[in-house]
Amino acid sequence: SQTIHQWPATLVQPVGSPLSLECTVEGTSNPNLYWYRQAAGRGLQLLFYSVGIGQISSEVPQNLSASRPQDRQFILSSKKLLLSDSGFYLCAWIRGGLAGHHEQYFGPGTRLTVT
Amino acid sequence: AQSVTQPDIHITVSEGASLELRCNYSYGATPYLFWYVQSPGQGLQLLLKYFSGDTLVQGIKGFEAEFKRSQSSFNLRKPSVHWSDAAEYFCAVAGQGAQKLVFGQGTRLTINP
């Protein structure tokens, strides 16, 4: 069966510090991968998605970046965190192909607090 | 481009009462439609989806949704809510050929005992 992991589960970082969040998927190959953010009281904001290794599409210009060094690994990074980067970060995947054809599976999320 | 509107940010219903959460979408052709649920501090879980065929879709946990093309709507219903249904509910749409979902802003459901 397929599983999706995110770590860390919670993170408290000072403003200006770097960030690295990791997402890995098991039990499937060539998935589409997605990073979302939920700010407090807000909906889901798609940040990045990837349809293959090294292929990253950015949805919102900001000080975050994403990378996909391996087929089932998706990393969200920042060189210098801002207070506005606080939120709940969710990773998700679907079987490779079109988003409308497949259920999107979500990870447990990472709660990031920037102080 | 696709878009989704969930007009109700927060809804409160009594336990045992019926529920309807509204979702309106914008898309020129027949969309793929989804409802997801998120418990506090958790990821999202799929409740149901519409691809084609029967416009009344049954999902998990006793939920159903009806696709109405004329109204561009995909409202979620449950005849009798339970306290465990308290959560955030998201409607999402994907166009044909799309590689990503577009989510609504969510509706937070509170259940009164």
Query: Rounded mean pLDDT of A71-89?
Result: 95
Length of chain B in terms of residues written? 113
Query: Rounded mean pLDDT of A96-107?
Result: 80
Please, which pLDDT band fits residue A26 given cuts at 50, 70 and 90? very high
- Preferred mutation among B8, B9, B44 to probe A, highest tally of A CBs within 10 A: B44
Look at residue A110 and give its three-state secondary structure. Answer: strand
Average pLDDT, chain A: 92
pLDDT of residue A62: 80
Per-residue model confidence as pLDDT tens digits over B2-24: 889 999 999 999 999 999 999 99
pLDDT over 90 at A40, yes or no: no
pLDDT of residue B5: 95
d(CA A87, CA A19): 13
Q: Which residue has the tokens 């979408």?
A: B25
d(CA A104, CA B45): 9
| Listed residue (B81, B79, B83, B80) closest to B113, CA to CA | B83
Higher per-residue pLDDT: B31 or A99: B31
Q: Which residue has the tokens 């914008």?
A: B26
A32-61 residues touching B, CB cutoff 8 A: 32, 34, 42-44, 46, 49, 51, 57, 59
Nearby residues of A19 by Cβ (< 8 Å), 6 or more positions away: A11, A13, A64, A76, A77, A78, A81, A85, A112
d(CA A49, CA A66): 8
Per-residue model confidence as pLDDT tens digits over B13-61: 999 999 999 999 998 888 899 999 999 888 899 999 998 888 999 999 9
Cis preceding linkage at A8, omega within 30: yes
